[in-house]
A and B are shown apart, each in its own frame.
Chain A
Amino acid sequence: MNKLIRTLTIVTMGAVLLCANHGPAQTAKPGASQVPPPAKRPERVEITKGPELEIANDQFTIIRWTTNNPGGADVHYGIVQYGTDPNDLSQTAKSPIRINRGHSETRFRVRLAGLKAATTYYYRVTSEDSTGTSSGVKSSVNKFTTPAPGERIVARP
């Protein structure tokens, strides 16, 4: 009997360890038509790169930044609060991205439309997931200048 209990304990621990090895970053079995639950959230979400201007042209401007993978729902919204006065960031742009459960980092990109050419804008960024849960990230105020009409700015990834 003791031998049986020992064996069961080892098997159970082994199963737990196997599950732990696979971890929350793994996908659920799509073959079973299951929708995966939200990914585990880290203790803290931090900006590891940016925010910065990525692309600017006659149509739109894209602001990007990178954080550690925020977990949570599959879709997150990058949010940029902006304006031409650093004390009045009353305009808001919001664009969805999908987090990749297998990646340790996540890049946010937000499209701002209707900006004036050759104008300096001030902004800060934050994010939330598709349930409205904030990531807790809030950048300091930064600035960028839109290009002159007909000019394009494109930063490498």
Chain B
Amino acid sequence: MNRRAMNAVLRTLVVVVFAVTIPHQAVPAPKESPPTPYNPYPAGILPSDLASEIDRVRGEINGIFQQALAEWKALPPPTLTGNPPTLTGSGYDMVRTLGKLLNYDEKMSVVQNRACAFCHMPYAGFSGPIPSVNLTMVAYPGSFQFRAGKRTAQRYTYSPWFPVLQFNDTQGLFFGGNFWDSRSTGFLLQNPDAEQAQHPPLDPLEHGLPDLACIAFRLQSAPYRPLFEQVWGQGSLDIKFPHDTEQICSTPGGAAIFGTDATPIKLSPEDRTKATRVYDNWGQSISFFEKSKEVSPFTSMFDAFLAGNATLTANEMAGYNLFRGRAGCTTCHLDGRGSTRTPGTGTDGTPATTTGTDTSGAADVTPLFTCFGSANLGVPLNPRDAIYYQTTPDFFGFTPNPFGFGFRDLGLGTFLRSGPGSAPNPNAAWISLAPTVDGQMQVMTARNAAMAPTQCPTTEAPGPYFQKEFFHNGYIKSLKQLVHFYNTRDVFAFNVTSGHCPQGTTEKVDCWPVPEVNNPNTLDHTNGNLGLSDTEENQIVAFLQTLVDGFTTPYPNRDTFTGTCSTGGTAATQGNATLISNYTLLPCASAICGVPPLPSAPIQ
């Protein structure tokens, strides 16, 4: 070990000593003190309230962690009966509670300061909980601050329903997987959501653990270890870890001292198999929690409407009819309803109903508002995204993005090529299909897009509102803008990048910069000139707000937000004050756009 590496390990040990002195169950969370923060960002990229907001969310997380511990302790004693042995009666509650504990446990990260929930809080529909981050840097600061990823945190809600990633021959299309780029295929566990939960802990830009065995190692000392062993088997955590394990698990992934070693903890083959099994159980437990009524309960006003227990307002109903009619949103965000369209009305026609009733037959009483597919919608590049600035090595010798502003997010296309920032593609037969999907991102459910905390219950200015971010790179800051983008992308297209709209125009209002992946062969053209009026756009937003869970029964922990609501301005220009123009876009890096099979058209 050279001197620099030794120094790195010593400094890490200091962090560890500091971290373990933090009372794990304290509410609110104490201040954290990373050794030498990574801050390659120009002034203004990181929000000014970042430190206090991190503390705020950590406090909220620890509060819910305490709640989960209490729920575990209130469970009846486990009874294992039958063959195969089954946790009779309480099995469901036990796995759900275990998943909740894992989701809110900060120790499952390199500096023991990041739970999964740090990017996924209930009041945001289990997406990003910090308004200023949503407004600026897009990706959330990871455990080793301030490394940060490149995309918005996807909502957990209803993600467990996505099928295993497949190329469906009869459709000629990809379906399923989890993550924006579908890289969590689900091929091993047959559950993309469970495999999704396995990525962030090992992502150097998120939890930052260098070895999956670190999860089993941390679970050995978790207060809820008995629950894990009751669910997944006595002895499942009996792994003999070498003496340097704490040292390794406290050194961020990507550190130069690890080289390309993905298993720096040297375990016996038997213990390595056990640790891998524990990591599978980690993902499965969290997925069970995400599929439970605590996360995905189907309790929205729209669900009540389908059941005949609620009436939509005239505005909401008009929005719904636009959603499935002229706006064509149900093309991808399937509403599970029968068609009310009759020959002659077509896409230009007047909705069959305009107020109060839905005359279609029910095809599905719990529609998911997604088609499980992917699309390149032509969202402009967002130069505020933290990823573009992480071009220099951090203290541990890790450079998050060596391409700088040459980075382009090709989504599913990059995954199929096993490209930078994605994951290895486990199916070689798909590689040749990459050029057909460049720029495609997963079609998320429209459910809970509008979820916001109880005290600032809208995402839309003037509020009081909770600032969210939409699409993979957070370019869009309100649902009004989101609908307006679909409505006018091609009408107000300008050959500029963000921050450079022509004088006399307003970005996101009557100027849309060029798409990040401007490939006409993959750019979806279903939308772009819908002809919706301002009022009609607002009606669709009103309908989207009926898809927020918590109408029929309160949404658990939606009231845990302890931050401040935003006020003022308009939804149309929400966040425009944070647009920037002082950056220089580089051509797409050859490591991304120059990898065979090449994109079907040059990507600038």
Q: Report A's interface with B, CB cutoff 8 A.
A: 21-23, 25-27, 29-31, 33-38, 48, 54-55, 57-60, 62, 66, 73-75, 78, 93-113, 129-132, 154, 156-157
Query: In the docked arrangement, what's the CA distance between A72 and B368, Å?
Result: 22
Closest to A110 in B: B525
Q: Which of B172, B342, B373 contacts A104 (CB 8 A)?
A: B342
Query: In the docked arrangement, what's the CA distance between A131 and B433, Å?
Result: 12
Q: Which of A27, A54, A103, A110 contacts B346 (CB 8 A)?
A: A103
* Known contacts A30-B367, A103-B346; is-contact A98 B331 (Cβ 8 Å): yes
Query: In the docked arrangement, what's the CA distance between A60 and B346, Å?
Result: 27
Residues of B within 8 A of A113 (CB): 520
A-B contact count (CB 8 A): 172
Q: Is B530 an interface residue (CB 8 A)?
A: yes
Q: Which of A29, A55, A103, A131 contacts B341 (CB 8 A)?
A: A103
CB pair B170 A37 closer than 8 Å? yes
Query: Can you list 19 residue pairs at the A/B interface with Cβ under 8 Å?
Result: A23-B338, A27-B336, A27-B363, A30-B334, A35-B166, A48-B346, A54-B490, A55-B491, A58-B495, A62-B490, A66-B348, A74-B171, A93-B520, A98-B373, A107-B347, A107-B526, A109-B525, A131-B170, A131-B171
Interface string of B320-346 (1 = CB under 8 A from A): 000010001011101111111111111
CB pair A106 B163 closer than 8 Å? no
Q: Is B366 an interface residue (CB 8 A)?
A: yes
Closest to B170 in A: A38
CB pair A100 B531 closer than 8 Å? no
CB pair A102 B172 closer than 8 Å? no
Query: In the docked arrangement, what's the CA distance between A113 and B364, Å?
Result: 41
Residues of A within 8 A of B365 (CB): 31
Shortest Cβ gap from B171 to chain A (Å)? 5
Query: In the docked arrangement, what's the CA distance between A110 and B491, Å?
Result: 14
Shortest Cβ gap from B70 to chain A (Å)? 32
* Known contacts A104-B343, A106-B347; is-contact A30 B336 (Cβ 8 Å): yes
Interface of chain B, main secondary structure: loop
CB pair B331 A99 closer than 8 Å? yes
Q: Is B565 an interface residue (CB 8 A)?
A: no
Q: Which of A21, A60, A130, A154 contacts B172 (CB 8 A)?
A: A130
Residues of B within 8 A of A54 (CB): 490, 529
Q: Is B175 an interface residue (CB 8 A)?
A: yes
Closest to A155 in B: B529
CB pair A35 B525 closer than 8 Å? no
Question: Which are the 9 A-B pairs with shortest beta-carbon distances?
Answer: A105-B346, A157-B531, A130-B172, A131-B172, A102-B339, A109-B525, A111-B520, A100-B331, A30-B368
CB pair B521 A95 closer than 8 Å? yes
Query: In the docked arrangement, what's the CA distance between A22 and B364, Å?
Result: 11
Shortest Cβ gap from A75 to chain B (Å)? 6
* Known contacts A35-B166, A74-B373; is-contact A29 B490 (Cβ 8 Å): no
Shortest Cβ gap from B500 to chain A (Å)? 14
CB pair B531 A73 closer than 8 Å? no
Residue total for B at the interface (Cβ-Cβ under 8 A): 61
Query: In the docked arrangement, what's the CA distance between A74 and B174, Å?
Result: 11
CB pair A26 B170 closer than 8 Å? no
> By CB atoms of chain A within 10 A, which of B161, B324, B334, B373 has the most?
B334
CB pair B363 A22 closer than 8 Å? yes
Residues of B within 8 A of A62 (CB): 490, 525, 528-529
Query: In the docked arrangement, what's the CA distance between A108 and B527, Å?
Result: 10
CB pair B344 A104 closer than 8 Å? yes
CB pair A95 B525 closer than 8 Å? yes
Residues of B within 8 A of A37 (CB): 170-171
Closest to B171 in A: A73
Shortest Cβ gap from A64 to chain B (Å)? 8
Q: Which of A74, A98, A103, A157 contacts B529 (CB 8 A)?
A: A157
CB pair B334 A27 closer than 8 Å? yes
CB pair A157 B170 closer than 8 Å? no
CB pair A75 B495 closer than 8 Å? no
CB pair A101 B339 closer than 8 Å? yes
Q: Which of B342, B345, B493, B529 contacts A59 (CB 8 A)?
A: B493
Shortest Cβ gap from B48 to chain A (Å)? 37
Residues of A within 8 A of B372 (CB): 30, 33, 35
Q: Which of A21, A97, A104, A132 contacts B345 (CB 8 A)?
A: A104
Those of B290-346 within 8 Å (CB) of chain A: 324, 328, 330-332, 334-346
Shortest Cβ gap from B600 to chain A (Å)? 9
Q: Is B173 an interface residue (CB 8 A)?
A: yes
Q: Which of A21, A58, A93, A94 contacts B361 (CB 8 A)?
A: A21
Q: Is B474 an interface residue (CB 8 A)?
A: no
* Known contacts A35-B166, A96-B525, A157-B529; is-contact A102 B175 (Cβ 8 Å): no
Q: Is B371 an interface residue (CB 8 A)?
A: yes
CB pair A26 B339 closer than 8 Å? yes
Residues of A within 8 A of B531 (CB): 156-157
Q: Is B514 an interface residue (CB 8 A)?
A: yes
Closest to A29 in B: B364
Q: Is B524 an interface residue (CB 8 A)?
A: yes
Those of B492-525 within 8 Å (CB) of chain A: 493-495, 514, 520-525
Q: Is B375 an interface residue (CB 8 A)?
A: yes
Q: Is B228 an interface residue (CB 8 A)?
A: no
CB pair B161 A74 closer than 8 Å? no
Shortest Cβ gap from A103 to chain B (Å)? 5
CB pair B170 A59 closer than 8 Å? no
Residues of A within 8 A of B332 (CB): 98
Shortest Cβ gap from A73 to chain B (Å)? 5
* Known contacts A29-B363, A104-B346, A154-B491; is-contact A35 B171 (Cβ 8 Å): yes
Q: Is B162 an interface residue (CB 8 A)?
A: yes
Shortest Cβ gap from B408 to chain A (Å)? 17
* Known contacts A22-B363, A35-B176; is-contact A94 B161 (Cβ 8 Å): no
CB pair A102 B324 closer than 8 Å? yes
Closest to A130 in B: B172
Shortest Cβ gap from B290 to chain A (Å)? 14
Residues of B within 8 A of A30 (CB): 161, 334, 336, 364, 367-368, 370-372
Query: In the docked arrangement, what's the CA distance between A14 and B355, Å?
Result: 31
